[in-house]
Amino acid sequence: MFMARGFSAVKTNINETVLGGAARLASGPAEDVLAALLTTALPRRGGQSGIWLRNRSCGTFARVAASVSRVHKTARENVRMPDEAAYAHITHRQEAFSGAYIRAICAVTGCAIESNTLDNDKIDYTVSSRVRGRIKHKPKIDIQAKCHMRGVAAHDDIPLTIDIETYNNLRDPLLSNPRILVVVLAPEEISTWIQQSDAELILRHCAYWLSLKGLPDTENATSKTVHLPRGNIFTPAALREMMDRTSNGRELT
């Protein structure tokens, strides 16, 4: 008789506990909900806790588990939980993060930046300035941006494999605007890409740039590995230097 009354009380308590707003429990597997509820919701008898009821009565435990499973499903349907599928795919986040990094550098430098709506020429951004040099006025630089989740650079050069079409577009020596490859190395864990407080906003880790102009053709059919010098950090000072060199007809090296 106790078991029947106990199960009825348990079922009532489970419904009240979970459906009453137990969002934390609803976010986990049904077994976790059961484990948590058995320590709080099961009735006590003679000083014995609900764990005693679970261990001593397999039949009741099975019925409680089934009830929890049904309640757990209902709770997940009624409690709004974070859904990763509702947010951008990781590749889209990487594109946005590299773009945010480049835009931040342009903002500090004082350069305008435009994103290309059609990436059919392997160019993501065009950066322009009002610099007046001996050869050109108001130079522009085209950027192909990449973001890789591989942590902080560990060697003097950073290898990156790009597709052949990108390689050939970036190495073309007859382009009107110089082109560079900008690679942002980000942490492997997305939640650590930025650090934010009321005093600062930090973008982690670092961006590097490389000019492929004039590099030789390759017999590779699909991809080519290039190496970015670790010293080529994409900074406001580096971008100003690129603009000065471009306006005076000098190569980006």
Is residue 142 assigned to a domain?
Answer: yes
What DSSP string describes 72-129? HHHHHHHS----GGGS--HHHHHHHHHHHHHHHHHHHHT-EEEE-S--SSS--EEEE-
Cβ pair 198, 237 in contact under 8 A: no
Cβ pair 157, 166 in contact under 8 A: no
- Whether 42 and 151 share a structural domain: no
pTM of model > 0.85: no
pLDDT in tens, 73-109: 554 445 444 566 789 999 999 999 999 999 999 999 9
Burial of 251 (0-12, 13-18, 19+ CB in 10 A): exposed
| Distance of alpha carbon 142 from alpha carbon 169, whole angstroms | 11
Alpha-carbon radius of gyration of the chain: 30
Is residue 63 assigned to a domain?
Answer: yes
Burial of 68 (0-12, 13-18, 19+ CB in 10 A): buried
The pLDDT of residue 194 is 96
Residue 158, beta-bridge partner list: 228
Question: Tokens for 186?
Answer: 């980000």
Kindly state the DSSP code that residue 21 receives in the 8-state scheme: T
| Distance of alpha carbon 186 from alpha carbon 173, whole angstroms | 31
Q: Which domain-ending residue is among 60, 81, 102?
A: 81
Please state the domain count of the chain. Answer: 2
Kindly state the DSSP code that residue 27 receives in the 8-state scheme: T
Q: Which domain-ending residue is among 56, 81, 106?
A: 81
- Whether 69 and 99 share a structural domain: no
Is residue 253 assigned to a domain?
Answer: no
Kindly state the DSSP code that residue 191 receives in the 8-state scheme: G
- Whether 129 and 72 share a structural domain: no
The pLDDT of residue 74 is 52
- Whether 24 and 62 share a structural domain: yes
Question: Tokens for 203?
Answer: 């973008």
Residues 6+ positions from 65 with CB-CB distance below 8 Å? 30, 31, 34
- Whether 33 and 141 share a structural domain: no
Per-residue pLDDT tens, the chain, 253 aa: give them: 444 444 444 444 444 444 444 444 444 454 454 444 444 444 444 444 444 444 444 445 444 444 545 544 554 445 444 566 789 999 999 999 999 999 999 999 999 999 988 767 889 999 999 999 999 999 999 999 999 999 899 999 999 999 999 999 999 999 999 999 999 999 999 999 999 999 999 999 999 999 999 999 999 999 999 999 999 999 999 999 999 999 999 999 8
- Whether 52 and 73 share a structural domain: yes
Cβ pair 213, 251 in contact under 8 A: yes
The pLDDT of residue 169 is 95
Q: Where do runs of H (alpha helix) occur along 110-212?
A: 164-171
- Whether 146 and 105 share a structural domain: yes
- Whether 210 and 132 share a structural domain: yes
The pLDDT of residue 7 is 43
Is residue 200 assigned to a domain?
Answer: yes
The pLDDT of residue 121 is 85
The pLDDT of residue 48 is 44
Is residue 118 assigned to a domain?
Answer: yes
pLDDT in tens, 37-58: 444 444 444 444 444 444 444 4
For residue 213, the Cα-to-chain-centroid distance in whole angstroms is: 31
* Of 171, 169, 185, nearest in space to 124 by CA: 169
- Whether 211 and 124 share a structural domain: yes
Of the chain, the end-to-end C-alpha distance in Å amounts to: 86
